[in-house]
Amino acid sequence: MNPIWLRALALVCLFGAVVLVAEVLVRALVKGRIEGHAINLRLRMIGRGRSHGETMNLLRRAESALPNGLPPVIERAGHAFERMLMQAQLTIPTPRLMLIILIAPLAIFFGSLVIMFATGVGVGFGRLVLIAAFAGALGMGLPLMFINFRATRTRKKMQDQFPVALDVFVRGLRAGHPIAAALDLLTVEMPDPVGSQFGLVVDEVTYGAELRDALQAMADRWDLEDMRMFVVSLSVQNETGGNLAEILESLSKVIRERQSMFLKVRALSSEGRMTGVMLTVLPVFTFVALFILSPGFFLDVANDPLFVPGFIVLLIMYLTGFFTIRKMVDLKV
């Protein structure tokens, strides 16, 4: 056979093999994503062998891991951190994660000192302050920013999905299901975070808790007014009677109108919120990246007598700007 035809046939076969492999990989990827979105985190944890009680404890984080006798400021910060972990839907136990975040800066600090001593770089007070700031930013600052970003995104998804969950719940009631069965529909039909959170409510009711108390606990964990209105509607209907489906349908309309107004406010304040994000994350990220890529940029001036006072003033200005912008863009609707 002509070598040219053989080469053309080989190229055609190679092209067909590449297309076939690419199609198989794309199909597997799409199938995995669909299956991952078809079930929520609670069902995945149960499917991996965790018990209902263990899953409920990890997702609720109802039991505080903080020791008793802490100062009020530290205790409030610890409870806020635990709520942030719950809203971020992290499955790592709270004590282990707290230990990692506390130990990571120390490990980075002493590791940096060992590297400096090994390379013969002198260590002064200014450089110690600089290394401590770098260790705190890399080991604690950036992880906390990531957890807070994930918690904020999950909380926003919870707000967006809640009216849809009410519609599914209303359809279940009108189909003749009791309240417990209609709630159970949400645990298998809704994605995260609504599916997992209502699954926790169903688990609590299964273990003997009152439905109203379980729903109120969920509303307190997420601190959402929409959930509180839902709990109040159930409580009023339970005491006075009435058509629960019509009540919740009206509530769904109110929540959607409220969310529409909230989206308008977010659109008007988007510039300020983005400014706050950039002024919060960018300085820390730039400092950490520049220190890793070119440590001499900071170390060469760290022993200057004015470095430590200037660095302290810089931190005060950063914190002042952070809290001021955060208060300006924290709008209540």
**Average confidence (pLDDT) per 10 residues, the chain, 333 residues:** 67 71 71 52 71 72 71 80 82 82 89 84 83 89 88 87 86 83 81 81 81 84 84 80 81 85 80 81 88 84 86 89 78 63
How far apart are the C-alpha atoms of 248 and 226, rounded to whole Å?
11
How far apart are the C-alpha atoms of 198 and 193, rounded to whole Å?
9
How high is the pLDDT of residue 313? 92
SS3 303: coil
Structure tokens at 261: 């107004």
How far apart are the C-alpha atoms of 170 and 253, rounded to whole Å?
12
How high is the pLDDT of residue 38? 44
Which has the closest alpha carbon to 205: 233, 184, 224? 184
Please, which residues have CB within 8 angstroms of residue 114's CB and are 6 or more apart in sequence? none
H or E element at residue 258: helix 244-268
Would you say the pTM of this structure is higher than 0.85? no
Is it true that the peptide bond before 193 is cis, omega within 30 degrees of 0?
yes
Please, which residues have CB within 8 angstroms of residue 75's CB and are 6 or more apart in sequence? 66
Please, which residues have CB within 8 angstroms of residue 27's CB and are 6 or more apart in sequence? none
How far apart are the C-alpha atoms of 65 and 95, rounded to whole Å?
6
How far apart are the C-alpha atoms of 85 and 60, rounded to whole Å?
10
How high is the pLDDT of residue 11? 67
How high is the pLDDT of residue 195? 82
How far apart are the C-alpha atoms of 80 and 263, rounded to whole Å?
26
- Kindly write down the DSSP assignment for every residue of 211-244, as one continuous string: HHHHHHHHHHHHT-HHHHHHHHHHHHHHHH---H
Q: Which residue's entry shows tokens 């009791």?
A: 178
